[in-house]
Amino acid sequence: MNNLVKYIGEVKGKHGVFSFCQFDKYIGLSMREYGEFSEIELSLMSKFIMKDDVVFDIGANIGAFTVPFAKKVGERGEVYAFEPQKLIYEILQDNVNKNKLKNVRVLNVGVGKKEEVLELNDIDYSKVGNFGGVSFKYESSSFTKNIKDKKYKVKITYLDKLTEIKKCDFVKIDVELMELDVLTGGINFLKKFRPILWIENHQKYPNKINKFLLKNDYNPYWVYSKAFNESNYFLNDNNYYGELATLNTLAIPKEDYRFSMDKKFDKIIDSYTKPITLLGKQIK
């Protein structure tokens, strides 16, 4: 990371001290301008994370969620943060260290449906890009100018392989089109621990994920949250994201009755239930 230090910024934000990529047009921009990232989504997730929980942050990026997760679960809880990008992993580890978190385990691996080694495009972090949108599945057009000619190898693991895990209560999955792979590679893991799931989903192709969740005795709900938080930590009125929002699926085991859901979230009753974004609805 030494040769890229000039592209790394630092901010004292809402949830701690964070290093970030200066030219990241989403996470980096948000941390610099607002002192937080996707705070509306984070506040919703946090309602389902309890003290002493074990949380998996799959696709952790720089740890904008990892750090507050770790603080929420406390010293007796634990967070496993998975991030395959080399530089982003180093920043994630640095942020965990800066915030003196002893209950976070950072892993420089991806998570998928099986153990394998995949190639990831080497990214030019000196140019503006969405560094949270790097994918093994496709080359986003927004990365055309960021992708270097070379690639590097990344280890992929899968949830069912993590037999040393004794407990898991909440899993956040944001892996750029590999969400179903993560679920498929964790069928036994999900049966054993029955964690609450928070999965990035897309209204263009949600059906397979929703079908998987219903088949495995989860109650899924759409969650739509805007990227811009009017009450952001720095009280910055400038909205750099417009109407941009994230669409996730919250999935709760059918046997988990701790939460009253139907009045707050749009329940998915079959694999073709329309996402609430089509109705212009926002959950706060």
pLDDT in tens, 60-77: 999 999 999 999 999 999
User: Domain boundaries in the chain?
Assistant: 2-279
Between 13 and 247, where is the model more confident?
13
Residue 141 neighbours by CB under 8 Å, 6+ apart: none
**What tens digit of pLDDT does each residue of 130-183 get?**
777 666 665 543 444 455 567 789 999 999 999 999 999 999 999 978 899 999
Q: What is the CATH architecture of 2-279?
A: 3-Layer(aba) Sandwich (3.40)
Q: At what angle do helices 66-73 and 86-98 cross, to 10 degrees?
A: 40
**What tens digit of pLDDT does each residue of 182-204 get?**
999 999 999 999 999 999 987 56
**For position 263, what pLDDT does the model report?**
59
Distance from C-alpha of 63 to C-alpha of 119, rounded to nearest angstrom = 23
**Mode of pairing for the β-strands spanning 110-111 and 147-157:** parallel
| DSSP 8-state assignment for residue 15 | T
**What tens digit of pLDDT does each residue of 215-249 get?**
999 999 988 889 999 999 999 999 999 999 888 99
**What tens digit of pLDDT does each residue of 30-57 get?**
999 999 999 999 999 999 999 999 999 9
Distance from C-alpha of 221 to C-alpha of 47, rounded to nearest angstrom = 14
| DSSP 8-state assignment for residue 76 | T
Q: How confident is the model at residue 280 (pLDDT cuts 50, 70, 90)?
A: very low
Distance from C-alpha of 257 to C-alpha of 250, rounded to nearest angstrom = 14
pTM of the model: 0.91
**For position 282, what pLDDT does the model report?**
42
Q: How far is CA 236 from the centre of its chain?
A: 24
**What tens digit of pLDDT does each residue of 87-141 get?**
999 999 999 999 999 999 999 999 999 999 988 777 888 887 777 766 666 554 3
What are the tokens at 237?
Answer: 């009125």
Q: Is the pLDDT of residue 1 over 80?
A: no
**For position 283, what pLDDT does the model report?**
39
